[in-house]
Amino acid sequence: MNKFSWYEAKSVEDALEQVNSTVSEELYQATDKAAVFKSGGIDVFDWVKEGLLKPQKIVNIRNIPDLDKISYDPKKGMSIGSNVTLAEIASNPETKNHYWALHQAVNHAATPQLRNMSTLGGNIAQRNRCWYFRSADHDCFRKGGARCFARQSETGENENHAIIDNGSCVSVHASSIATALMAFNASVVIINGKGEKKEVTMDDFFVTAGKDIAMENILQAKEIITEIILPAPTKNTKSAYIKQVARESYDWSLGDVAVVFEVSGNTCRSASIVLGAAAPVPYRSMEAQQAIENKTINSENAFAAAEAAMKIARPLAKNGYKVPLFIATLKQAILEIS
Amino acid sequence: MEEGFKEADVVVERTYRTQVQTHMPLETHGVVVDWNSDVMMIYASTQNTNAVRNEMASVFNLPKSKVRVVCDFMGGGFGAKHSAGSFGPMAANLAKKSGRPVWLMMDRKEEHHSEGNRPNSIQYLKIGAKKDGTLTGIQQRSHGTAGVALGAGVGRIAQILYPCPNFATEQYDVLTNAGPGAAWRAPGNVQGAFGLEQAIDELAEKLNVDPLSYRNQIDKSEVRKVERQRGAKLFDWSRRQPAGSDKGIVKKGLGIGQSTWPRFVTLDSSVEVKIHNDGGVEIRSGVQDIGTGTKTILAQVVAEELGLQVKDITVNIGDTFFPVGPGSGGSVVTGSITPPTRNAAFEAKNALLKLVAKEWKTDSSELFIENGQVSSKKDAGLKMPFKEATKLMQTSQISKIASRSDDYGGFQQPWGLAYGDLGSVQFAEVSVNTETGFVKVDKIVAAHSCGRPLNIGQLESQINGGVIQGVSYALYENRVMDKGTGHMMNANVDQYKVPFSMEIPEIETIIVEEYSALSSTDAYGIGEPANIATAAAIANAVYNAIGVRLYEIPITPSSILKALNKVS
């Protein structure tokens, strides 16, 4: 680990003045002059400890006032400040009452200890899971290198990797909470150094590897997430979330699904279905949504939708099991709604 | 060998594969060396103070009296911490050069890479039996890699668990440019049991007999017979259904696995028991407490012998300035160090009783100590508190050193020092989700024997630990090595998976007391026996659940779904 200075940001403006780069930029082409944000510090310090990130300055945004508020309004929906911890979301009764899938996702993220430390902003902005990407010994595409080690057919250890959109990069997005947020059509509020505010949907927040190999989201150097907004549910909104992990106690997702339906009776009127750990970014399955919309929620239709979601799956040498895993998990999640 | 298979009516011929398991104790390997004075002082995380002392004395050409190794508490060893490593001499050289104490501990990545692993195995097994079940031949051929080290065999379990007139084994070490293997809780035998116990299960099925009944027929061990009986009852083996017959998506399965481990003893095991003239009692030995409670049982043994309470005994061990103790390997410690501890306490007690006898003008053979009082068998009126008795001493202490050096005529075997075997039988209950491939171990019943149990709580705790490590081996741990670059991809605590609280099954233990009357405590270790049969029992249970056998560990969602033909 290199030595770095520490700056305690007092406000969003103060923080944006101090910072000059993003973790993504630094991982792609290290400068050793970087000043980067740290919120919960979970992901940033992993990179620092591995020696892949060598910041000159860490700008601590964890203690900026007013970014740690969580509020719910039946008409406007829910607003979660970017510094709200996962533990706070997990124990929030409004989340449990109105956004069941998010409640489930948060409660299955990491460990109780990590949930006490992690913030929602940091969670959705963390970098992808791939042990080659996260290894100092492997200079992969995402770090400005010349190859993807994971996709090598003879040697790639890709059992945890992507089965969808796995072209230039086969890593999977690390946030299982983002899976649920995207299913609820949540949006991210971002402020830049000029004080300009923009609100983008989760679908637009994430950037595919094909578009830009250096990053997984749109955040630029002088930008900061201030809040995440979830639209208000109707009385017919129902949701479910299931995460499959090797170890229940604590593990990264091998495949997780979030399903948010507008129902009338036992019929799905509109569907929002997102798969986590399937692709380099949380993946909205239009195929599954179309397959289940205006259909009765039953075992047969749930299975058909799950199969539709997997039609475009192109597994690598060692992750073929994810296809039946997703089919079983998505089917189960849809049936939990009925 | 060929004769054996000619006689056979039924033959099972399979290849089993086990993974590389890298050591991940909470405390990594390392030392602090302070070489400012005449004596090289080493604070080591070690399971063998004596070996580290001898190694460092040899490397630096010092008399053993000028090297002192101390290990007060251990953060986990499991077989990999018997040596000074390369870090020991490095730290000592730096301490000499700098004139300052040098702290040198491995980081987690270094620990995974360089500080030891259980080598993998590819085991070919062929077992033949007559129609009536009589074994006619066992042939074993294994290959494994301990990286740049040796020791990738699969142990003696196939040779000795079930007597067979024809047996042959070939065990090959394959050298590779990977981290070195090291001892790990029953080296070789854990791998060997995974193959053998699955093959025996398959053989039983071919013979159309229950796998437990078949073991009753071919296993000659009396202790395992009792363990099978008691275990089957507690586990309710009778509810076991034919393989694959559970109808649900999540299928239940039951399995059994057996193992054996010799009653190893280290004869060079010494201990000093001191009675001070203020009533204090002290135990001193170089033996370290690897974390299983050696300190506690030594205090128990001396307290029992001196008629005192455990809290009255001070235990100072893990220091090579004290009499040489055994290394914590081979499950030898309890069997090696508790007998001389009792013997030294006995001699110290006799010396004290002689002083009391002189005071009371009687013979010391009439005296005994109970509940902290010296008493007389002949005169109930004579009483003296232990503390008062120690004031009769003319010197400030009575000191007696005893050694385990006597073999008691039973331990010398052609291949080492051991007496008989410590039999173990484990039962596993699993749930397998046939849609997602996840396996959950619901329950393990572990029936074990280790002579006279000295501390039931610690014993059960060690069995729990062995079972958990077995679950970990069967389902989770795996060194993932990139074949292209030769790097271990999961050299951390995050991606190198071990079970946490929710992965740990319900564990019930059964302790069968089997005495040998060959030492003054008749106690033996349990560390290794507790770990050997678990993975095999789980694999047999998985087969019973889904009706398809997995010949390779770790068993993962991927391997289950492939076995069920669900991965295209």
Give the model confidence (pLDDT) of A167-182 as tens digits.
Answer: 999 999 999 999 999 9
Q: Could you tell me the domains of chain A?
A: 5-63 (3.30.43), 237-337 (3.30.390.50)
A113 touches chain B (CB under 8 A): no
Give the model confidence (pLDDT) of B158-188 as tens digits.
Answer: 999 999 999 999 999 999 999 999 999 999 9
Taking contacts as CB-CB distances below 8 angstroms, the residues of chain A near B502 are: 247-249
User: What is the structure's pLDDT at A4?
Assistant: 96
Smallest CA–CA distance, residue A44 to chain B, in Å, is 15
In tens digits, what is the pLDDT along chain A, a chain of 338 residues? 889 999 999 999 999 999 999 999 999 987 778 999 999 999 999 999 999 999 999 999 999 999 999 999 999 999 999 999 999 999 999 999 999 999 999 999 999 999 999 999 999 999 999 999 999 999 999 999 999 999 998 999 999 999 999 999 999 999 999 999 999 999 999 999 999 999 999 999 999 999 999 999 999 999 999 999 999 999 999 999 999 999 999 999 999 999 999 999 999 999 999 999 999 999 999 999 999 999 999 999 999 999 999 999 999 999 999 999 999 999 999 999 97
Q: Are B33 and B95 in contact (CB under 8 A)?
A: yes
Nearest to A248 among B484, B502, B558 (CB): B502
Instruction: Provide DSSP, A12-46.
Output: HHHHHHH----HHHHHHS--S--EEEESS-HHHHH
User: What is the structure's pLDDT at A338?
Assistant: 79
User: What is the structure's pLDDT at B415?
Assistant: 57
Indicate whether B103 pLDDT > 90: yes
The sign one gets for the Cα dihedral A175, A181, A185, A188 is negative
Q: Are A321 and B567 in contact (CB under 8 A)?
A: yes
Q: Is B498 or B406 the better-scoring residue by pLDDT?
A: B498
Taking contacts as CB-CB distances below 8 angstroms, the residues of chain B near A132 are: 482, 489
Its ipTM equals: 0.95
CB within 8 A of B281, min separation 6: which ones? Answer: B273, B274, B275, B302, B306, B308, B312, B313, B314
With CA atoms as reference, report the closest residue to A26 among A122, A136, A173, A143: A143
3-state secondary structure of B533: coil
Distance CA A26, CA B19 (A): 37
A251 touches chain B (CB under 8 A): yes
Q: Could you tell me the domains of chain B?
A: 1-23+119-207 (3.30.365.10), 30-114 (3.30.365.10), 221-263+411-548 (3.30.365.10), 270-403 (3.30.365.10)
Smallest CA–CA distance, residue A3 to chain B, in Å, is 18
Q: How confident is the model at residue B242 (pLDDT cuts 50, 70, 90)?
A: very high
Distance CA A84, CA A91 (A): 12
Contact A251 B497 (CB under 8 A): yes
With CA atoms as reference, report the closest residue to B535 among B452, B426, B440, B448: B426
A244 touches chain B (CB under 8 A): yes
**HSE (side-chain half, CA atoms, 13 Å) at B456:** 6
Mean pLDDT of B430-439: 98
Q: Are A132 and A159 in contact (CB under 8 A)?
A: no
Contact B556 A157 (CB under 8 A): no
Indicate whether B371 pLDDT > 90: yes
Contact A321 B495 (CB under 8 A): no
Mean pLDDT of B218-229: 96
Percent of chain B with pLDDT over 90: 93
Backbone dihedral angles phi then psi of residue B78, each to the nearest 5 degrees: 60, 15
Contact A321 B561 (CB under 8 A): yes
E strand residue ranges, B167-317: 167-173, 250-264, 270-276, 281-285, 313-317
Contact B499 A249 (CB under 8 A): yes
Strand (E) or helix (H) holding B511 = strand B506-511
Smallest CA–CA distance, residue B500 to chain A, in Å, is 6
Taking contacts as CB-CB distances below 8 angstroms, the residues of chain A near B488 are: none
3-state secondary structure of B248: coil
User: What is the structure's pLDDT at B407?
Assistant: 67
3-state secondary structure of A173: coil
Strands B135-144 and B167-173, by their bridges, are parallel
